[in-house]
Structure 1
Amino acid sequence: MHMPSLKAQVSEQEWQLRCDLAACYRLVALYGWTDLVFTHISARVPGPEHHFLINPYGLLFEEVTASSLVLVDQEGNQVRESGFNVNHAGFVIHSAVHAARNDVQCVLHTHTRTGVAVSAQRAGVLPVSQQASFVLSGLGYHDYEGVALRDEEKPRLQDDLGPNTFLMLRNHGLLTVGRTVADAFLAMYMFESACQIQISAQASGDLLTIDPQILKGVADAARVQTEGLGGGFVWPALLRKLDRMDPHYKD
């Protein structure tokens, strides 16, 4: 879907953020984590206003471009008229997180089959894989309250996320946050992988779990594994992959 480029109308910093967020939408589509048009990824634009970018409601993730992303304020009003609507349920969830976590630039939410399946299990994420060990180092749970349309749910979402990177929305899906778009994406890759492995392992019978003492050192191990760069370690390679496939996410 072609739109006039906003590159000349926004700051260099906002344009880079738009490109990274559009890339994240395309990667989520590429890895099969979409639910048609019904989930969301948002990124806060630097500044005191706490404005953030979110997807235009109705576009497939594979159609999202840097210029099509919608800039909204904390009340859901469009800061720059886009010609698109914003999914209100997406706004409620994302605005709640952005309001509570000044350290978070990006919020990524999915409804994958395996993510929802694990969210419906009473025990939640089990320590049965290396991927799960990373998730368990910073995981919260939020009970299902219906489609997230009511502002009164926001304080409970904020409390349940707390300082964590991962939030399991019971009977609903997965949510990750990151200080960059790359960090939120890598966190979701780990979260989704942990859920896929758990569902597969449960089909085979008795499960072997990781020693709790090993789980305590996981956060440090993750920093070593990514040379302290977090998602930034893998992000350039992912962008190269997208550029080879279709560089129009940067339009």
Structure 2
Amino acid sequence: MSDRAVVSRLSSSASNAGDDDACRQARIDLAACYRLIHRLGLDDSIYTHISARLPGTHDRFLINPYGLRFEEVTASNLVIVDVDGSVIDDPVGLGINPAGFTIHSAVHATRHDVACVLHTHTVAGVAVSSQADGLLPLNQWSMQFTGRLAYHDYEGIALDLDERSRLVADLGDKFVMVLRNHGLLTCGRSIGEAFKLMHNLERSCRAQLAIQAAGAPVARLSNSVAVKAAGQYAAGYDRIEVQGQPDTEWAAFKRMLDRSDAGYAD
């Protein structure tokens, strides 16, 4: 299906859907994010999800069809749902995973500053989420999350809607959360920001496990240095999301896809 056909159906399926070009770009960026998460080995079969708010709306979201692997997601087969997970437009007729959207809807309903929510179950993420001390500020990647990381206790598979209030209360105003004994969650003011936060969070978890496995004495850094590093990282994200500077890293990741996996934009 062409991008123009996607935009036409999107506009007729959801009122006030906003600018056609913005909707088309959101679809392309979200599909790119799915493909990149697969490329980096962070997906989990047909499970876990990435959702994005449809530009120009507060209650319409894009998410993957339930049953497709992440490398099969394209701009045109993304499903439109409302904040309750009711399907508005479903190009391939597969519906969505309601357990997956429970977490996403909780964030989208209360955090209007969030454009994208990304959730993973990786070996490293699940391992760190199962440790009592969670993510430790052991290196530059992980220090960026100092004072900026939330935790939510495991309550079972996310099917109970009443868990949503507790999840968003734990998240607060943060953009990154460890779901204990479960996995990782990042939020972004853009799709690119959610992806980059997850990329760095995942690398932080892998590095922590490697450090712990090595068994050698660890060079501990002061809390003041960790807080300084976190602020430096945050300023870099703000330059893009608040000040409007180009996101050169996100653009570079998409160019990588364009060279070898350009079908994501179909």
TM range, normalised to the smaller chain?
Answer: over 0.9
What do residues 200-240 of structure 1 show as CA deviations (whole Å, max 9, x unaligned)?
A: 00011232222101122224311565692269230111111
Query: Given residue 55 of structure 1, which amino acid in structure 2 is its aligned partner?
Result: N
1:92 aligns with 2:107: no
Q: How does the TM-score come out when normalised to structure 2?
A: 0.89
Match of 2:219 in 1: 208
Q: Following the alignment from structure 1 to structure 2, what is the Cα–Cα distance between the partners of residues 39 and 226?
A: 25
Could you say what secondary structure the match of 1:123 adopts? coil
Q: Following the alignment from structure 1 to structure 2, what is the Cα–Cα distance between the partners of residues 3 and 145?
A: 42
1:136 aligns with 2:146: yes
Could you say what secondary structure the match of 2:87 adopts? coil
Could you say what secondary structure the match of 1:159 adopts? helix
Aligned equivalent of 1:178, options 143, 163, 188: 188
Q: Following the alignment from structure 1 to structure 2, what is the Cα–Cα distance between the partners of residues 36 and 167?
A: 22
Q: How does the TM-score come out when normalised to structure 1?
A: 0.94
Could you say what secondary structure the match of 2:44 adopts? coil
1:56-205 equivalent positions in 2, closer than 5 A: 56-82=65-91, 83-205=93-215
Query: Given residue 242 of structure 1, which amino acid in structure 2 is its aligned partner?
Result: L
Could you say what secondary structure the match of 1:183 adopts? helix
- The worse-fitting range, judged by mean Cα deviation, of 165-174 and 217-226 is 217-226
Query: Given residue 63 of structure 1, which amino acid in structure 2 is its aligned partner?
Result: E
Q: Which runs of 5+ in 2 are unaligned?
A: 11-19
For the aligned residues, what is the CA RMSD? 1.8
- The worse-fitting range, judged by mean Cα deviation, of 224-233 and 130-139 is 224-233
Report if aligned partners of 1:56, 1:70 keep a CA contact under 8 Å in 2: yes
Q: Following the alignment from structure 1 to structure 2, what is the Cα–Cα distance between the partners of residues 220 and 232?
A: 18
Q: Which runs of 5+ in 1 are unaligned?
A: none
Query: Given residue 30 of structure 1, which amino acid in structure 2 is its aligned partner?
Result: R
TM-fit CA distance, 1:168: 0.2
1:9 aligns with 2:14: no
Q: Following the alignment from structure 2 to structure 1, what is the Cα–Cα distance between the partners of residues 161 and 169?
A: 14
Could you say what secondary structure the match of 1:216 adopts? helix
* Aligned length in residues: 250
1:40-59 equivalent positions in 2, closer than 5 A: 40-59=49-68
Could you say what secondary structure the match of 1:46 adopts? coil
Query: Where has structure 1 moved over 4 Å in runs of 4 or more?
Result: 2-5, 223-227
Report if aligned partners of 1:109, 1:173 keep a CA contact under 8 Å in 2: yes
Report if aligned partners of 1:178, 1:184 keep a CA contact under 8 Å in 2: yes
Could you say what secondary structure the match of 1:125 adopts? coil
Query: Given residue 212 of structure 1, which amino acid in structure 2 is its aligned partner?
Result: N
Same amino acid, percent of matched pairs: 46
